Every structure is written in structure tokens, then in C-alpha cells.
Amino acid sequence: MASSLVCRVHPVVLFSIVDSFERRNEDARRVIGTLLGTYDKGSVEVTNCFTVPHNESDDEVAVDIEFARNMFELHRRVNPLEVIVGWYSTGTEVTEHSVLIHEYYSRECKTPIHMTIDTALKGGHMNIKSFVSSNMGVPGKTCGTMFTPIPFKVVCYEPERVGVDWIQQGKHNPKRMVTLYSDLQQVAASCNRLQAMLDAALAYIDDVLSGKIPADNTVGRTMMDMVTSIPQLKPEEMEEMLNANLKDLLMVVYLSNLTKTQLALNEKLGIV
């Protein structure tokens, strides 16, 4: 069972781990924490995490278990579907202290995942690995623990995908900053992208009709499905529908601004 597991991690987990590493104590060599998520048909989906305070030296390691349990209880009140699925540590090594920490998480869940994140970016990128443990040794003798790598992948919900794509635009900015567009700018950008895709589709159709490129039946059927999926509306009906939606939007904006103004007045009157 363990060897067939697949670890699926959401970007918010990686962001939280990097943030905890940046906020660590000056004398801390690494950061550890609890991974939260769900089990589903041979995969572990990690959707959340939190940092657990610990002290570590060459000879011993101490983990604040009471803090970890209290944090999990608080998280469970917010999202009762998330359970403990393992733990993480920054760095690239699995040490003998990792075995001791893993023993605690083995009591909290059936098959805990151990995930390591290279926050030092030694290879120029964030190296991420996930492991499960198994006992090894001779029967009747002292047993050891072996960490076996399991497949790892980053998955996103649609809102997370939008956020990640937007953050990645900072790679091309010398200041590593990204400015959010206004609602009108986003609509204009979406319209421009739609116009560019329509131009590309029309150019492809013209090239096929003129014999410049061979026809592709798969592309043709896909385009036909797209055309037939669009409801046939008269221009007058389309304009009326857009105007009605625009009026609804303006009414919502008006009521929102009116509510903000009323709250601001009540606050000023309350202060006086």
C-alpha cells in the first residue's frame, strides 16, 4: 500500500513552508511542521500545513507535541475533513532525528508522509521529495527504519492556478513585483486574448480552405463542437442581455458604495 502511494501537494503548502523557513529563529538549522490533507484511492493530497516548534542539536531533538496537537484541533474546527497525513522538514537530508520525529507522526496517522523541501535552492530550484517509512531488520533483533521515496506532484485548484500564474509573472520583472490589474483592465486583457485566439482559428480555416495546409479532422470536429455549443442569439437579444447584466453590476456597485459610506458615517458619529 505504502509503496503505491502518490503524494499530491498544493502550492499553498509550499508557500507556507517557505514562509515558516524565512521566519525561523536565527539558531534554527531547519523547520519542521505537520502536513494536513486527505487520503483518496492510493494518493495523499496535502492541502494545508502548520509549523511545529522544535529544538535540535547534534545529540538530541525535542518537539513541542502539545503545540502540534492544539494546532490540529484548531484546524479541525475550521476544516473537519483535513486530517494529519505526515510532516515536513526543510533541507535535503533524512537524519536520525527524522526517525524520532516520524515515530510521533506514525502514532497520529496510519501511513505518514515525510516531505523534504530544499529551501536553500542548492541546485537552482526547490528540490522536493516525499517518503514513507518501513521497518527493516532481522526478526527478534533491533529493527531499523528505511525511508522509501514515493512519486510527488504539485496540483492546483483553479483559483490556485490563477494565483500561481500571476506570481510567476514576477520572474520577468527586475523588481520581482507584480501589480494587480483593475477589473476593467482584466476584461480588456481577456477580450484581447479571445480576439487573438479567434484570429488564429480564422487563419487556420483560411489556410485549410486555400490548400496551404492539410485538413485535420480532429481540429474540425472540435471547432464544430465549439460553434454548436454557443446559443444562437440575435444581435438585439445579445445587446439586451449585456445591458441587463451591466445594469445589475452597476446596481451592486452602487449598493456596495452606499453601504461603505453608511458605515463610515456611523463610525464618525460614534466617535463624536
Per-residue pLDDT for the chain (272 aa), expressed as one digit of tens each?
A: 455 788 999 999 998 999 999 888 887 888 999 999 998 888 899 999 999 998 888 778 888 899 999 999 999 998 889 999 999 999 888 878 888 888 888 888 888 999 999 887 776 778 888 988 877 766 666 566 788 888 888 888 888 887 787 777 777 777 777 777 777 777 788 889 989 999 999 999 999 999 899 989 998 899 888 888 877 778 888 888 888 888 888 899 899 989 989 888 888 776 54
**Per-residue pLDDT, 270:** 65
Q: Coil, strand, or helix at residue 142?
A: coil
**Per-residue pLDDT, 272:** 44
Cβ proximity of 162 and 178 under 8 Å: no
- What is the grid cell recorded at 259? 453601504
**Per-residue pLDDT, 1:** 45
DSSP string, 10-45: -HHHHHHHHHHHHTS-TT-S--EEEEEEEEETTEEE
Angle 11-22/158-168 helices, nearest 10 degrees? Answer: 50
**Per-residue pLDDT, 271:** 53
**Per-residue pLDDT, 140:** 66
Nearest-5° Cα angle at 148, 147 to 151 = 135
